[in-house]
Amino acid sequence: MSGCCPTLTGEFDADYVARELASREKGAAGPTSARLVDLLVSASADGAGLAGASLLDVGAGFGDIHTALFERGLGTATHVEASEVYSRAARDLAREGGWEDRVRFEIGDFIDLSGALADADIVTLDRVVCCYPDMPALLDRSAARARRLYALSAPRDGWFVRFVIGVKNGVRRLRKDPFRTFVHSWTAMDSRLRALGLEPVGESGTLIWRVVVYRRANPRSV
């Protein structure tokens, strides 16, 4: 379950971020991020497209989602990240890529910041739901910001994944590490998002992760 939830300041410190940057330099790419981007591109092709669209990326890590989508026509992005170390690294990467003036960086827990954040055409949560015990609040507040598309990745909720994460959480408990990974019911998440006016339009994933893109039944204009 390496790479889960690059958001929280205690678990994802300078050493962790440095190791992740080193692995990126060796060509390692986040498989869930790549699948999420592909699904968004496909979903956008059936609608208004990505040209000039806005993105709100929750728990954005290095900014891989907006970086990939800028290359496909995305207009602007809001990068929300609880880890200041990750946010600094993302800003450096945006500067190197020439995207910095198109990204707004917000540091803090999305739940705390959500009331002050603007709506966006697209909202993404890549490996973020697994960091929050209060899944309903996270989904409700993030979905409320999505005008057109909403995408998330989270651990599959089968017995194997629950067992692996349970073991990892047990090790953290023994080490007095307060961080926990959560496996939320996909049935519950899907039902909640549908009740909020979103319908699934694409799905992908890996052995551990499931990635789903939703489209708002009645898209909102700016």
Three-state secondary structure call for residue 126? strand
The better pLDDT of the pair 219, 36 is held by: 36
Question: What's the angle, vertex CA 39, arms to CA 12 and CA 101, rounded to 5?
Answer: 60
Rg (alpha carbons) of the chain, rounded to whole number: 16
Give residue limits of the domains in the chain: 14-216
Do 33 and 64 contact (CB within 8 A), yes or no?
yes
Query: What spatial distance separates the first Cα and last Cα of the chain, rounded to whole Å?
Result: 38
Its CATH class, for the domain covering 14-216, is alpha beta
Answer whether residue 143 shows pLDDT above 50. yes
List, for residues 36-70, the tens digit of each pLDDT value: 999 999 999 876 789 999 999 999 988 999 999 99
H or E stretch at 17: helix 14-25
What distance lies between CA 144 and its chain's CA centroid?
Answer: 15
The proportion of the chain whose per-residue pLDDT surpasses 70, expressed as a percent, equals 86
What global pTM score does this model have? 0.89
Query: For the segment 87-114, what is each residue's pLDDT rounded down to a tens digit?
Result: 988 999 899 989 999 999 999 999 999 9
Amino acid letter for position 38: D
Top-confidence residue, 185 or 29: 185
Cβ count near 140 (within 10 Å): 15
